[in-house]
Structure 1
């Protein structure tokens, strides 16, 4: 295939899916952040000008912040923007660097999966017990399920990110 020929098949669909998912997650983050900013502005104005704060603004801000973090996690993982300590970079051996990349990737994937499983179990408990927020009575398990999905998707993204990183180091 020459460079001018268009790609066909699975790689093209995968790229389109990845771009679409990135766009949707980015849009969701944007909307949640805009809601947080709007809520905070309205609450401050209502509190100081009219002496009547928005009911449940603190709870909503907490839930929106958690949602923002969970929605942004797969994007951060896909971009490879997690904090990284490069202990093996000083080594000259390509084998050790390759093994280090494998260990780091497996650790990242493992941690994401463990947290996803723990959040899954916690969300189930919250749902069974009917736990809600104090004043607005918003079900807390919704945030738990969002977190579970976020960490599970991040684990999948970490698999692909690790594989691409290993291809670079090979």
Structure 2
């Protein structure tokens, strides 16, 4: 009972607004990417004058699109999942498998996020920048970390919700 309320409260007051904000920024980055590519293609073929660094900008915007939308996909359960075994399970047994899966996923993503944090320090210390426009890499590495942290929060809420279903009477 308490775990279910905790999970719903975390999702309603913390996770859902953050996911909505992050995915909105990711969607805006996608729109910007589309406009940049269309304008670049137009300028390239009509005037033979492409936009300098458009490829780099699209790469950086792709980081925003992917990592700011990742947690929202998990929250809305739209990620690809293979339910070969669990589709036949019901109730507490299915919740137990969801708990184990979310726990393993959280462990993996904590390691990936920690690696991202270390990478931010390395990229910042070595002053890595893009080739054409000299855009620093580290702000986009921070986006990767923020997206990973939010994804971990969603997985933690999933763990609490699954554990609540496992323990309910």
- TM-score range normalised by the length of the shorter chain: 0.7 to 0.9
More helix by share: 2
Q: Deviations over 1:6-25 (max 9, x none)?
A: xxxxx779625444323322
Task: Report whether the alignment pairs 1:89 with 2:89.
Answer: no
User: Residues 58-73 of structure 1: matches in 2 within 5 Å?
Assistant: 58-73=55-70
RMSD, aligned α-carbons = 2.3
> How has the CA–CA distance of structure 1 residues 146 and 94 changed in structure 2, closer, same or farther, with 3 Å as cutoff?
same
The Cα of 1:83 is off from its aligned counterpart by 2.2
Task: Report whether the alignment pairs 1:137 with 2:139.
Answer: no
Q: What residue ranges of structure 1 are gaps of 5+ in the alignment? A: 1-10
CA distance in 1, matches of 2:89, 2:46: 64
The Cα of 1:163 is off from its aligned counterpart by 2.3
The Cα of 1:97 is off from its aligned counterpart by 3.0
The Cα of 1:168 is off from its aligned counterpart by 4.5
- TM-score normalised to structure 1 length: 0.82
> How has the CA–CA distance of structure 1 residues 94 and 168 changed in structure 2, closer, same or farther, with 3 Å as cutoff?
closer
Task: Report whether the alignment pairs 1:52 with 2:49.
Answer: yes
Larger Rg: 1
Q: Which has the higher contact order (CA 8 A, sep 6+)?
A: 2
CA distance in 2, matches of 1:92, 1:33: 38
- TM-score normalised to structure 2 length: 0.83
> How has the CA–CA distance of structure 1 residues 96 and 144 changed in structure 2, closer, same or farther, with 3 Å as cutoff?
same
Equivalent residue number for residue 33 of structure 2: 36
Task: Report whether the alignment pairs 1:119 with 2:128.
Answer: no
> How has the CA–CA distance of structure 1 residues 13 and 107 changed in structure 2, closer, same or farther, with 3 Å as cutoff?
closer
